[in-house]
Amino acid sequence: MLTYQTKGDTSLSTPIHPTAIIHSKAELHPTVEVGPYAVIGDNVKIDARTIVGPHAIIEGPIEIGVGNRIFPNAVIGSDPQDLKYKGAASCAKVGDHNIIREFVTINRATHADEVTQIGNHNLLMAYVHVAHNCVIEDNVIIANAVALAGHVYIESRAVIGGALGVHQFVRIGRNAMLGGMSRIDRDAPPFMMIEGNPSRVRSLNLVGLKRAGLTTQDIGYLKEAFRFLYRSNFTFKEALEQLSKIYDNEYVKYLHHFLMESATGEKRRGPIPAKA
């Protein structure tokens, strides 16, 4: 545990630095550590063993879970950068055991009944921006200087390369890997390697699938589905119509469900294609 002590007083140590500014209505677990010059506002709840680094700013309403590490100069829970925002007491929630690096910004949702939500065991590297109403599930890695527009949804175990922009309302599928400096303006299908400007599906994310514990048989089914969708003479619509009928596998079924929902859902822009 990091501890700080008042200058000249070696008998007194505390996990909250004396220069930190903490609102009287903020609720911090006794084990929370707060660094020099950090600012914690009203309606902030922080659970056990979370560390707030120097000069970090946390504004509410927000709930932050157990064992998070918030690095210097991160700004979490600030007002959304949305012209529709009219001062509502909207919310943000951060789960457990996340690493939030330097200068990360996480905005609250736009309306009072909405939430920006970060799950568990995620790594947000320096200068990542998470806009209003975004949802990040679990075990997601987002590299430096990634900008997520509003209402982006990232499923578990996705890996997002650095210096990359994601359009509003885009969904990124689980176990997808997005190459750095890509433009992600449509839904990124699960299990795929995606990169480019404009971005394109390049291959299966084989390394990510093996790390996630998929069996050789599961990966084999996904390889067949990939060839059927992106390398056959079928149109994408024709391949999609046939996909769930041909391969009886939970991962292929999920891929089919994601693509169908992407193609038909409200405010969805359709999936990223394999060809221009």
Q: What is the pLDDT of residues 138-177, one digit of tens each?
A: 999 999 999 999 999 999 999 999 999 999 999 999 999 9
Could you report the per-residue pLDDT of 184-201, keeping only the tens digit for each? 999 999 999 999 999 999
Residue 80 clears pLDDT 70, i.e. is over it: yes
pLDDT > 90 in the chain, percent: 84
d(CA 255, CA 251): 6
Q: What are phi and psi of 245, to 5 degrees?
A: -80, -20
DSSP letters of 134-146? -EE-SS-EE-TT-
User: Which structure tokens are listed for 128?
Assistant: 């990542």
Contact partners, residue 192, CB within 8 Å, separation at least 6: 173, 176, 177, 201, 202, 203, 204, 205, 226
Q: Tell me: pLDDT of 10 over 60.
A: no
Torsion of CA 116, 120, 126, 129, to 10 degrees: -10
Does the structure show a pLDDT above 90 at 276? Answer: no
Contact 196, 178 (CB under 8 A): no
Structure tokens at 213: 């514990």
Query: What band does 275 get if pLDDT is binned at 50, 70 and 90?
Result: low
Task: Please report which helix (H) or strand (E) contains residue 193, including its range.
Answer: strand 192-196
- Could you give the C-alpha distances from 217 to 106, 214, 251, 263, in angstroms and in order? 39, 8, 11, 28
Q: Is the pLDDT of residue 2 over 60?
A: no
- In whole angstroms, give the CA distance from residue 70 to residue 165: 23
Q: H helices within 89-235, ranges in order?
A: 206-211, 216-230
Rg (CA), the chain: 21
Spatial contact of 162 and 147, defined as CB atoms under 8 Å apart: no
Q: So what's the pLDDT on residue 5? A: 47
CA distances from 265 to 46, 127, 172, 194 (A): 36, 31, 14, 21
Closest among 252, 260, 257 to 221, alpha carbons compared: 252
Which pLDDT score is estimated for 244? 75
Q: Which two tokens stand for residue 147?
A: 């900008």
**What is the C-alpha separation between 179 and 52, in angstroms, rounded?**
30
pLDDT at position 237, please? 85
**pLDDT tens sequence across 209-257:** 999 999 999 999 999 999 999 999 988 888 888 887 777 899 999 999 9
Q: What is the pTM of this model?
A: 0.94
Q: How far apart are CA 179 and CA 98, in angstroms?
A: 22
What is the reported pLDDT for 231?
92
